[in-house]
Chain A
Amino acid sequence: KNEVEQSPQNLTAQEGEFITINCSYSVGISALHWLQQHPGGGIVSLFMLSSGKKKHGRLIATINIQEKHSSLHITASHPRDSAVYICAVRSMYSGGGADGLTFGKGTHLIIQP
C-alpha cells in the first residue's frame, strides 16, 4: 500500500511569509493531487500533476518523481490561505485505495494577520 506522509502536520505563520508544505509517498505514482479544505468542510482541487511544476496565482506545486516527493508553496501568504491542505496520490500499480487514491492526513495551516 502506498504510504503518503505530509509535513508539517500543523503550521502557524505570519501574513506575508513564504509557506512550504511537503508530501512524500512510497510507491510510484501516475499523478498527485493537492487539495484545500476550508473550515466548514468543502474541498477544492488545487493542482493535479505528474511531473515538473504548476503555478496558479500565489500557489506553486512541484513534484520530483525520482525522490517521490512533492511540495506546495504559497507566496505572500494571507489569512484567507488558512485551511487544511491535503495531498493525494494515484499509485501506478496496486497500492492505493479501491479508487486507486491514497490520501495524506493533511497539513493544518494558520496564517496570522
Chain B
Amino acid sequence: DVKVTQSSRYLVKRTGEKVFLECVQDMDHENMFWYRQDPGLGLRLIYFSYDVKMKEKGDIPEGYSVSREKKERFSLILESASTNQTSMYLCASSSPLGLDSPLHFGNGTRLTVT
C-alpha cells in the first residue's frame, strides 16, 4: 500500500513565521502535489512536481514555495505566514503511468495562523 505521510496533523503558527510542511511518500512516485482545502471552495492546487528539483505553479501559488531535493520528499513553505493561509493542507502523490493514475493522499495538516 502506498503511504503518504505528512509530518503534522495540527499546527498553530503566528503571523509572519516561516512554516514548513513536510510530505514523504514511500512508493517511488514521480508526481507529488500540494493542495489546500477550504470550506465551500474544494481542493485547490498550490504547487506540484514531476521530478526531483522540478516544480510547477498550481492555481494558487502566491505566498508559497516548495522544495523537492529528494524523490520521496516534497516540502511546502510559507515564507511569512498570514491568517488567510489558515487551512487544511493535503499532500498527494501519483505514479507517471499515464496522466490518470490514482492520487494517493496524506492525512492532511490543519494549519492555524494566529
A-side residues, CB < 8 A to B, are 30-31, 33, 35, 40-45, 48, 50, 86, 88, 90, 97-101, 103-106
Neighbouring B residues of A105 by C-beta, 8 Å: 40-42
Known A30-B100, A105-B41: A98·B90 in contact at CB below 8 Å: no
Known A103-B42, A105-B40, A106-B42: A98·B57 in contact at CB below 8 Å: yes
Is the beta-carbon distance between A98 and B105 smaller than 8 angstroms?
A: no
Contact of B88 among A31, A41, A97, A99 (CB under 8 A): A41
* Cα distance, A100 to B58, chains bound together (Å): 10
Neighbouring A residues of B57 by C-beta, 8 Å: 98
The total of interchain contacts (Cβ-Cβ below 8 angstroms) comes to 63
Is the beta-carbon distance between B103 and A33 smaller than 8 angstroms?
A: yes
B68 within 8 A of A: no
Is the beta-carbon distance between B108 and A41 smaller than 8 angstroms?
A: yes
Is the beta-carbon distance between A43 and B105 smaller than 8 angstroms?
A: yes
Is the beta-carbon distance between B102 and A103 smaller than 8 angstroms?
A: no
B69 within 8 A of A: no
Chain B residue with minimal CB distance to A48?
B102
* Cα distance, A103 to B108, chains bound together (Å): 17
Q: Which of B12-20, B22-30, B43-51, B77-85 contacts A (4 or more CB under 8 A)?
A: B43-51
Is the beta-carbon distance between B107 and A45 smaller than 8 angstroms?
A: no
A-B contact pairs, 5 of them (CB 8 A): A40-B108, A42-B106, A43-B103, A90-B100, A99-B48
Least CB distance, A54 to chain B, in whole angstroms = 12
* Cα distance, A35 to B94, chains bound together (Å): 14
B73 within 8 A of A: no
* Cα distance, A88 to B102, chains bound together (Å): 11
Chain B residue with minimal CB distance to A46?
B102
Q: Which of A44, A88, A98, A100 has the most CB of B within 10 A?
A: A98
Neighbouring A residues of B88 by C-beta, 8 Å: 41
